[in-house]
Amino acid sequence: MSTSLNSGTNLNKTIVIARSKATWQSIQMKTLGEFIKKNKFEFLSVFLIIFLALCLRLYRIGEFMTFLGDEGRDVRIVRDLITKGNLVFIGPQTSIGNMYLGPLYYYMMAPALFLSRMNPIGPAVLNALIGTFTVFLTYFIGRKLFNKWSGLIAALLYAVSPVAIIYSRSSWNPNPMPLFALLCVWGIYQVWQNKKYFWLPLIGVFFAFALQMHYLGLLLGPVLGLFWILTLISINKSKDFLRKKTFLRFTLFAFLSFFILMSPLVLFDLRHQGMNFNAFKLFFSDRQTTVNLNPVRSDRFLPVIYMTVSDLVLARQTTWAPLVSVLILLFSVWMYLKSKWLSSLKTVFVWLGFAILGLSVYKQHVYIHYLGFIYPAIYLLEGALLGFLLRRKTLFRLMAIASIVFLFANSIIFSPVKDNPNHQLQRTEMAIDLIIKESNSQPFNFGLIAKQNYDESYRYFLENKNTGLVRGEEKIVDQLFVICEDGDSCQPEGHPAWQIAKFGPSHVVGQWQIDYLKIYRLVHTK
């Protein structure tokens, strides 16, 4: 009897849960349907913008994607993670400071590489999808922070941005940074303005991802910290102790989620005498070539602003960058004084302010991909400005429309999809296929001569195709294949590159060419 009652109770619970889920799904579908019905133009506009963004990022992606040493290294590591179960505790090494990023990007790559059957195009497509989703999220957040026109304009300009397209169609760890930066700032805005403290643990996750894409994500730290402090001050003024307790509890969860995702780096440091920590300490203590912690003495403030405006607003055209920078500043001040978007504008201004200040004290060359954590901020500000002008008198409305048309057309005119594809992936595979054919199924050593590349991309295909490759550090065999990327000046005989020098005295017995690549077969000189 008891068993029968329990079964009936469990069945009733299952039915209630199923009905609740069905009701919630029905409400969601009804809400979405009502939104589309009431906002047909907006829905169609968003659909077309996202479709445009996706097309621009996926267009001939296999031919445009970068596939050099860094990309080859990454897919080799992820392939071994998938096929051999080799867990990864550190990510790529930084170009400055000899620090290592975390491994999260490798784990992000893994499903895409697996689904593409180890084809490097898979992770590149993943980045294109992430870039497209970031465009949609920029619309959504722009709509929430400002209005629908601001969201649509921000998304449209982000969708066609040449820089955003270039860094969304290759597999590289900095490329997903805009998404995680945007989620971090949107999360802290929700905490600060809407008292949605459950966002705090999510911010911990997003911040860990942002840092593991690129360490310039550290400049998000002051933004998050400032709005966290403002939230705490607001709670203290209200003397709502229950709310304060909830806020601090979720803050603890935020630190916990952040620490869990950063723990592989901690474990790595514990096993390697604090290698990463010491590199960080040296980077900030030896400031002769790294950072100038006195921003007043920095001479890079204006160059950083001009580069940001020229590359992200003007489609990499530098001529009008100073004038447009001044106009953006003046109209931003006017918008702040006249609009009702004070909290939203404060969020974007603080985000951009800390970024520009941080980049201005950095002494090394600033590359445009370093700015990945403020890409969405730039387009949100553009959207807010133009959306604000659209609501003013006729003259300013016409000015806004003309600006939108100009910025859109400028990005289309200078779009990277018009460039000639680099064919790096195809050329690399063709070179390896030629080596396989000419090796006559005999083992061979391999070397590369290149000023700005290393051999990981070639080794990926050499290993995947089960060739007769024998690493030089393991054994020297009877033939050596050398790929040269330096054109006619290349002399493989007696070259000091380690893989070639270790082979010993040798001479060329075969030579081929694929595009600008020269491929040599060498044998020992008796």
What separation in angstroms does the CA of 114 have from each of 388, 425, 461, 462?
46, 18, 16, 18
* Residue carrying structure tokens 């390697």: 272
Q: Could you write out the DSSP letters of every residue in 288-335?
A: TSSB-S-GGG-S-HHHHHHHHHHHHTSTT--TTHHHHHHHHHHHHHHH
Separation CA 325–CA 329 (nearest Å):
6
* Residue carrying structure tokens 């939203």: 344
Give domain limits for the chain.
2-38, 125-417, 424-524
- Tens-of-pLDDT digits for all 526 residues of the chain? 444 545 555 555 555 455 555 565 565 556 777 878 888 899 999 999 999 999 999 999 999 999 999 999 999 999 999 999 999 999 998 877 678 999 999 999 999 999 999 999 999 999 999 999 999 999 999 999 999 999 999 999 999 999 999 999 999 999 999 999 999 999 999 999 999 999 999 999 999 999 999 999 999 999 999 999 999 999 999 888 999 999 999 999 999 999 999 999 988 888 888 888 888 777 777 655 566 666 655 678 899 999 999 999 999 999 999 999 999 999 999 999 999 999 999 999 999 999 999 998 887 788 999 999 999 999 999 999 999 999 999 999 999 999 999 999 999 999 999 999 999 999 999 999 999 999 999 999 999 999 989 999 999 999 999 889 999 889 999 999 999 998 777 899 999 999 999 999 999 999 999 999 999 999 999 7
pLDDT at 228: 98
Q: Print burial letters for 232-263: b (CB count within 10 Å at least 16), e (below 16).
A: eeebeeeeeeeeeebbeebbebbeebbeebbe
Separation CA 261–CA 274 (nearest Å):
18
DSSP tag of 97: S
For 342-396, what is the HEC assignment?
Answer: HHHHHHHHHHHHHHHHHHHCECCCCCHHHHHHHHHHHHHHHHHHHHHHHCCCHHH
DSSP tag of 100: B
Could you tell me the strand order of the sheet in which 506-514 lies? 445-449, 479-484, 517-524, 506-514
| 372 CB burial (10 A radius; 0-12, 13-18, 19+) | buried
pLDDT at 361: 83
Separation CA 187–CA 231 (nearest Å):
13
pLDDT at 287: 54
* Torsions phi, psi for 420 (to 5 deg): -75, 130
Alpha helices (H) along 39-117: 40-58, 61-64, 69-84, 104-115
Joined tokens for residue 473:
């550090």
User: How wide is the angle at C-alpha 141 spanned by C-alphas 139 and 143, nearest 5°?
Assistant: 65
Q: Print burial letters for 424-441: b (CB count within 10 Å at least 16), e (below 16).
A: bbebbbbbbebbbeebee
What pTM did the predictor assign?
0.91
pLDDT at 5: 47
Q: Print burial letters for 183-214: b (CB count within 10 Å at least 16), e (below 16).
A: bbbbbbbbbbbeeebebbbbbbbbbbbbbbbb
pLDDT at 337: 96
* Torsions phi, psi for 501 (to 5 deg): -60, -35
In three-state secondary structure terms, 481 is strand
Q: Using an 8 Å Cβ cutoff, are 188 and 145 in contact?
A: no
Q: Which residues contact 148 (CB under 8 A, 6 or more apart)?
A: 39, 42
One-letter amino acid identity for 491? Q
Angle 301-312/375-390 helices, nearest 10 degrees? 70
- Count of CB atoms within 10 A of residue 111's CB? 14
Of the candidates 170, 136, 163, which has an alpha carbon nearest to the alpha carbon of residue 415?
A: 163
Separation CA 208–CA 180 (nearest Å):
9
* Torsions phi, psi for 385 (to 5 deg): -60, -50
pLDDT at 258: 98
